[in-house]
Chains A and B, each alone.
Chain A
Amino acid sequence: MIDLSTTYLGLPLRSPLVASASPLSKDLENLQRLEEAGAGAVVFHSLFEEQITAEAQSLDNFLNQGADSFAEASSYFPDLPSYSMGPDAYLEHIRRAKKMLRIPVIGSLNGVSSGGWIRYAREIQDAGADALELNIYFLPTTLEVDGRATEDGYCRLLEDIKRKLTIPVAVKLSPYFTSMVNMAFRLYRSGADALVLFNRFYQPDFDLETLEVTSNLTLSTSDELRLRLHWVALLAGRIKADLAITGGVHTAEDVVKGIMAGAQVTMLTSALLRNGIDYLRDLETKVVDWMELHEYESVGQMRGSMRATAVEDPAAFERANYLKVLGSYTLSR
Chain B
Amino acid sequence: MNRPQVTIDGNEAAAYVAHHVNEVIAIYPITPSSAMGEWADQWSANGSKNIWGSVPSVIEMQSEGGAAGAVHGALQGGALTTTFTSSQGLLLMIPNMYKIAGELTPTVFHVAARALAAQGLSIFGDHQDVMAVRATGFAMLASHSVQSVMDMALIAHAAALETRLPFVHFFDGFRTSHEVAKVEQLTSDDMRAMIGDDLVRAHRARSLNPDRPVLRGTAQNPDVYFQARETVNPFYDACPDKVQSAMDRFAALTGRQYRLFDYFGDPNAERVVVLMGSAAWAAEECAEALLARGEKVGVVNVHLFRPFSAKALVDALPRTVRAIGVLDRTKEPGSAGEPLYQDVVTALQEAGEFAAWPRVVGGRYGLASKEFTPAMCAAVFSELSQPKPRNHFVVGINDDVSHHSLDYDAAFSTEDPTTVRAVFYGLGADGTVGANKNSIKIIGEDTDNYAQGYFVYDSKKSGAMTISHLRFGRKPIRSSYLISRASFVACHQFSFLERIDVLQLAETGATFLLNSPFGAEEVWDRLPRPVQEQILAKRLRFYVIDAFRVAKDNGMGGRINTVMQTCFFALSGALPREEAISAIKHAIQKTYGKRGEAVVEKNFAAVDNALENLHEVAVPDAVTSSVERRPMVSAQAPDFVQNVLAPMLAGAGDGLPVSALPVDGTYPTGTAQWEKRNLAQEIPVWESGLCIQCGKCVMVCPHAVIRSKIFEPELTASAPDTFKSAPARWRDREHLRYVLQVSPEDCTGCGLCVQVCPAKSKSEVKTKAINMAPQAPVREQEQRNWDFFLGLPEFDRSALALHNVKDVQLLQPLFEFPGACAGCGETPYIKLLTQLFGDRTVIANATGCSSIYGGNLPTTPYTVNHAGRGPAWSNSLFEDNAEFGLGMRVALDKQSQYAAELLQKLAPAVGPELAEAILHADQSTEAGIQEQRGRIAQLNQKLAESSGPEVCDSQLRDLSSITSALVRKSVWILGGDGWAYDIGYGGLDHVFASGRNVKILVLDTEVYSNTGGQASKATPRGAVAKFASGGKQSAKKDLAMMAMTYGTVYVAHIALGANDTQTIKAFLEAEAYDGPALIIAYSHCIAHGYDLIHGLDQQKAAVQSAYWPLFRYNPELAVGGKNPFQLDSRAPALPLEKYIYNEGRYSMLVRSSPETAAILLGEAQADVNLRWKLYEHWANLSYSNGGAHA
Is A100 in contact with chain B by the CB < 8 A criterion? no
Is A70 in contact with chain B by the CB < 8 A criterion? yes
Chain B hits for A85, CB < 8 A = 594-597, 1151
Is B1104 in contact with chain A by the CB < 8 A criterion? no
Is A76 in contact with chain B by the CB < 8 A criterion? yes
Flag if A66 contacts B1086 (CB, 8 Å).
Answer: yes
Flag if B461 contacts A77 (CB, 8 Å).
Answer: no
Chain A hits for B919, CB < 8 A = none
Residue-wise interface mask of B (608-622) relative to A, using a CB-CB cutoff of 8 A (1 in contact, 0 not): 000000000000000
Interface residues on B, range: 35 or more
Is B133 in contact with chain A by the CB < 8 A criterion? no
Closest residue of B by beta carbon distance from A55: B596
Roughly how many angstroms separate A63 CA and B1089 CA in the complex, as a whole number?
7
Q: DSSP majority for the A interface? A: loop
Question: How far is the CB of B754 from the nearest CB of chain A, in Å?
Answer: 14
**Given A60-B595, A61-B1091, A85-B596, are A72 and B1010 also a contact pair (CB < 8 Å)?**
yes
Roughly how many angstroms separate A250 CA and B41 CA in the complex, as a whole number?
54
Contact of A66 among B45, B428, B597 (CB under 8 A): B428
Chain B hits for A89, CB < 8 A = 1151, 1154
Contact of B42 among A66, A67, A79 (CB under 8 A): A79
Flag if A73 contacts B1011 (CB, 8 Å).
Answer: yes
Is A176 in contact with chain B by the CB < 8 A criterion? no
Chain B hits for A86, CB < 8 A = 596-597
Roughly how many angstroms separate A267 CA and B433 CA in the complex, as a whole number?
54
Flag if B595 contacts A83 (CB, 8 Å).
Answer: yes
Within 40-58 of B, Cβ neighbours of A (below 8 Å) are at 41-42, 45-46
Flag if A80 contacts B466 (CB, 8 Å).
Answer: no
Flag if B1029 contacts A63 (CB, 8 Å).
Answer: no
Flag if B457 contacts A70 (CB, 8 Å).
Answer: yes
**Given A82-B1152, A85-B1151, are A71 and B596 also a contact pair (CB < 8 Å)?**
no
**Given A62-B1089, A78-B42, are A71 and B459 also a contact pair (CB < 8 Å)?**
yes
Roughly how many angstroms separate A56 CA and B555 CA in the complex, as a whole number?
12
Contact of A59 among B596, B1012, B1029 (CB under 8 A): B596
Roughly how many angstroms separate A81 CA and B557 CA in the complex, as a whole number?
26
Within 565-597 of B, Cβ neighbours of A (below 8 Å) are at 592, 594-597
Question: How far is the CB of B694 from the nearest CB of chain A, in Å?
Answer: 15
Flag if B1013 contacts A76 (CB, 8 Å).
Answer: yes
Is A323 in contact with chain B by the CB < 8 A criterion? no
Roughly how many angstroms separate A255 CA and B280 CA in the complex, as a whole number?
85
Is B1162 in contact with chain A by the CB < 8 A criterion? no
Is B303 in contact with chain A by the CB < 8 A criterion? no
Roughly how many angstroms separate A72 CA and B457 CA in the complex, as a whole number?
9
**Given A82-B594, A84-B1151, A85-B596, are A76 and B1029 also a contact pair (CB < 8 Å)?**
no
Is B837 in contact with chain A by the CB < 8 A criterion? no
Is A69 in contact with chain B by the CB < 8 A criterion? yes
Chain A hits for B596, CB < 8 A = 52-53, 55-57, 59-60, 83, 85-86
Roughly how many angstroms separate A59 CA and B34 CA in the complex, as a whole number?
24
Chain A hits for B427, CB < 8 A = 69
Roughly how many angstroms separate A82 CA and B1012 CA in the complex, as a whole number?
20
Is A68 in contact with chain B by the CB < 8 A criterion? yes
> Of A56, A71, A84, which is in contact with the most chain B CB atoms at under 10 Å from its CB?
A71
Contact of B599 among A56, A65, A70, A212 (CB under 8 A): A56
Roughly how many angstroms separate A60 CA and B1151 CA in the complex, as a whole number?
13
Residue-wise interface mask of B (819-830) relative to A, using a CB-CB cutoff of 8 A (1 in contact, 0 not): 001000000000
Question: How far is the CB of A206 from the nearest CB of chain B, in Å?
Answer: 9
Is B1026 in contact with chain A by the CB < 8 A criterion? yes
Flag if B1152 contacts A57 (CB, 8 Å).
Answer: no
Flag if B599 contacts A78 (CB, 8 Å).
Answer: no
Closest residue of B by beta carbon distance from A54: B598
**Given A71-B457, A77-B1026, are A84 and B1152 also a contact pair (CB < 8 Å)?**
yes
Closest residue of B by beta carbon distance from A49: B598
Question: How far is the CB of B675 from the nearest CB of chain A, in Å?
Answer: 17
**Given A58-B1144, A83-B594, are A65 and B1012 also a contact pair (CB < 8 Å)?**
no
Is A22 in contact with chain B by the CB < 8 A criterion? no
**Given A68-B466, A72-B1012, A83-B595, are A78 and B1025 also a contact pair (CB < 8 Å)?**
yes
Chain A hits for B559, CB < 8 A = 64
Flag if B1024 contacts A76 (CB, 8 Å).
Answer: no
Chain A hits for B1013, CB < 8 A = 73, 75-77
Chain B hits for A62, CB < 8 A = 1089-1091, 1144
Chain B hits for A69, CB < 8 A = 427-429, 433, 457, 461, 464, 466
**Given A69-B464, A72-B123, A73-B1013, are A80 and B428 also a contact pair (CB < 8 Å)?**
no
Is A74 in contact with chain B by the CB < 8 A criterion? yes
Roughly how many angstroms separate A103 CA and B35 CA in the complex, as a whole number?
51
Within 1134-1190 of B, Cβ neighbours of A (below 8 Å) are at 1144-1145, 1148, 1151-1152, 1154
Is B174 in contact with chain A by the CB < 8 A criterion? yes
Is A145 in contact with chain B by the CB < 8 A criterion? no
Question: How far is the CB of B596 from the nearest CB of chain A, in Å?
Answer: 3
Is B1099 in contact with chain A by the CB < 8 A criterion? no
Is A139 in contact with chain B by the CB < 8 A criterion? no
Residue-wise interface mask of A (130-145) relative to B, using a CB-CB cutoff of 8 A (1 in contact, 0 not): 0000000000000000
Question: How far is the CB of B1029 from the nearest CB of chain A, in Å?
Answer: 4
Closest residue of B by beta carbon distance from A82: B594
Chain B hits for A71, CB < 8 A = 31-32, 123, 174, 457, 459
Is A211 in contact with chain B by the CB < 8 A criterion? yes
**Given A71-B123, A84-B1152, are A77 and B1144 also a contact pair (CB < 8 Å)?**
yes
Question: How far is the CB of A100 from the nearest CB of chain B, in Å?
Answer: 16
Chain A hits for B1087, CB < 8 A = 66, 76-77
**Given A56-B596, A73-B1011, are A81 and B46 also a contact pair (CB < 8 Å)?**
yes
Roughly how many angstroms separate A290 CA and B1049 CA in the complex, as a whole number?
70
> Of A61, A62, A76, which is in contact with the most chain B CB atoms at under 10 Å from its CB?
A76
Closest residue of B by beta carbon distance from A53: B598
Chain B hits for A59, CB < 8 A = 595-596, 599, 1144, 1148, 1151
Residue-wise interface mask of B (426-439) relative to A, using a CB-CB cutoff of 8 A (1 in contact, 0 not): 01110111100100
Closest residue of B by beta carbon distance from A71: B457
Chain A hits for B597, CB < 8 A = 56, 85-86
Chain A hits for B1091, CB < 8 A = 61-62, 65
Chain A hits for B288, CB < 8 A = none
Chain B hits for A80, CB < 8 A = 594, 1024, 1029, 1148, 1152
Chain B hits for A211, CB < 8 A = 760, 765
Roughly how many angstroms separate A241 CA and B402 CA in the complex, as a whole number?
96
Question: How far is the CB of A122 from the nearest CB of chain B, in Å?
Answer: 14
Contact of A68 among B433, B595, B1089, B1148 (CB under 8 A): B433
Chain A hits for B1151, CB < 8 A = 59, 83-85, 89
> Of A52, A63, A64, A78, which is in contact with the most chain B CB atoms at under 10 Å from its CB?
A78
Roughly how many angstroms separate A77 CA and B1144 CA in the complex, as a whole number?
9
Question: How far is the CB of B839 from the nearest CB of chain A, in Å?
Answer: 32
Question: How far is the CB of A228 from the nearest CB of chain B, in Å?
Answer: 32
Closest residue of A by beta carbon distance from B555: A57
- What are 10 contact pairs spanning A and B, CB under 8 A? A59-B1144, A68-B433, A72-B34, A72-B123, A77-B1024, A77-B1144, A78-B41, A78-B1027, A85-B597, A211-B760
Question: Which 5 residue pairs are nearest across A and B when measured between Cβ atoms?
Answer: A69-B428, A56-B596, A73-B1012, A68-B433, A78-B1029
**Residues of chain A having any CB pair with chain B under 8 Å:** 52-53, 55-86, 89, 211-212
**Residues of chain B having any CB pair with chain A under 8 Å:** 31-32, 34-35, 38, 41-42, 45-46, 123, 174, 427-429, 431-434, 437, 455, 457, 459, 461, 464, 466, 555, 557, 559, 592, 594-599, 760, 765, 821, 852, 1009-1013, 1024-1027, 1029, 1086-1087, 1089-1091, 1144-1145, 1148, 1151-1152, 1154
Q: With A68-B437, A72-B1012 given, can you name 19 additional A-B contacts, CB distance below 8 Å? A: A52-B598, A56-B595, A57-B596, A57-B598, A58-B1090, A60-B599, A65-B1091, A68-B432, A70-B464, A77-B1144, A78-B38, A78-B45, A78-B1026, A78-B1029, A80-B1024, A83-B595, A83-B596, A86-B596, A86-B597
